A and B are shown apart, each in its own frame.
Chain A
Amino acid sequence: MENSKLKELLGVAASWQLIYAIPACLVAVFSMYSNAIAALFSLAMGILAISSATAIQRYKSSGNEQGLLTSFKHEKIYFILGTIYCLLISISLLATLLYIYRYGIEITQSPIKWSLRLAIDWLKD
């Protein structure tokens, strides 16, 4: 597959991908202490995005289609991880919403404690 317009477009997309993924990885590393699970997901997704972008750039410079294929493969894993991550966040947000709906806001407690209290109260009910 040889198409200069496509190569140019992919190159620009890869640059934006890198501009996003590199700082995102750094933020993930720095936020490891506060929320390790979320940070690990973000870090893994950031690394995959970087790897996907560099594979595209390899394709752009050499014309070897393997680069494009690798990029797609890494992008797929990025979206798989993203789906799991979003699922976990959705559960956490839902628990938080239910908690606030039932008890109001208590900023001194962590979401894990909120979820536990909510679960215990439900079991008691």
Chain B
Amino acid sequence: MNYENSPLDEDNQQESAELSEDILLQIPSNAFWTRLYAIFYLIINLLSFGLAFFILLQIPFKISVGIMIAGAAFAALSLWANMSLFSYSSKLYKVVKTADIDIFIEAMEQRKLYWQICVWCFITTVILVVIAFFFILAFLMSGGFAGGLR
């Protein structure tokens, strides 16, 4: 007799696909720290934008355009990473309330998204550093910064 697709087997699968007590106990603190990290990460993003804006205003237009394009991509990515972290922590809080494995899967999808964006942020940072290096080098070679930027 084949029990593979019997209703009894499906019931067992359903039962086993539940979050264990240990995981449910661990999740609230993870949600809390993820949320706190996301808040500080957002503060950093906003301060960085402010700082970048201040600096870019005082650098010649040709140089600032190159940095701005890469910077805008980085800013968009880091804000997206931030949003995914907020969403991740919200879903974790929801898991604590409902213990629903589907919401847990949704939370894990946000977690995957966060790490994916981190990879793209890393790549953008490398590109940004390379662009900034060449633009600033060109600026210095053409006699820039001689009298300071005041």
Contacts and interface: CB of A to CB of B under 8 A. Distances in A.
Interface string A47-73: 000000000000000000100110011
Contacts of B54: 97, 100-101, 105
Contact of A93 (B48, B115, B150): B48
Nearest to A6: B105
A49 to B, nearest CB: 8
A69 B23 contact: yes
B35 to A, nearest CB: 9
The prevalent SS among residues of B at the interface is helix
Contact of B30 (A5, A75, A89, A100): A75
Interface in B91-134: 101, 104-105, 108-109, 111-112, 115-116, 118-119, 122
A16 B145 CA distance: 41
Given A10-B108, A93-B51, A2 B13 contact: yes
Interface residues of B, number: 43
B33 A69 contact: no
B44 A93 contact: yes
A26 to B, nearest CB: 11
Contacts of B30: 72, 75-76, 79
B9 interface: no
Interface residues of A, number: 41
B104 A6 contact: yes
A94 B47 contact: yes
Interface in A1-18: 1-3, 5-6, 9-10, 12-13, 16-17
14 contacts: A1-B18, A1-B19, A19-B119, A20-B115, A20-B119, A76-B29, A79-B34, A79-B36, A86-B41, A97-B50, A97-B51, A100-B54, A105-B150, A108-B148
Interface of B: 13, 16-20, 22-23, 26-27, 29-30, 33-34, 36-37, 40-41, 43-44, 47-48, 50-51, 54-55, 58, 101, 104-105, 108-109, 111-112, 115-116, 118-119, 122, 145, 148-150
Top-9 shortest CB links A-B: A86-B40, A13-B112, A16-B115, A79-B33, A93-B47, A105-B149, A20-B118, A79-B37, A104-B150
Given A6-B101, A75-B30, A96-B51, 9 more contacts: A2-B17, A3-B105, A16-B118, A19-B119, A87-B40, A97-B47, A100-B51, A104-B148, A108-B148
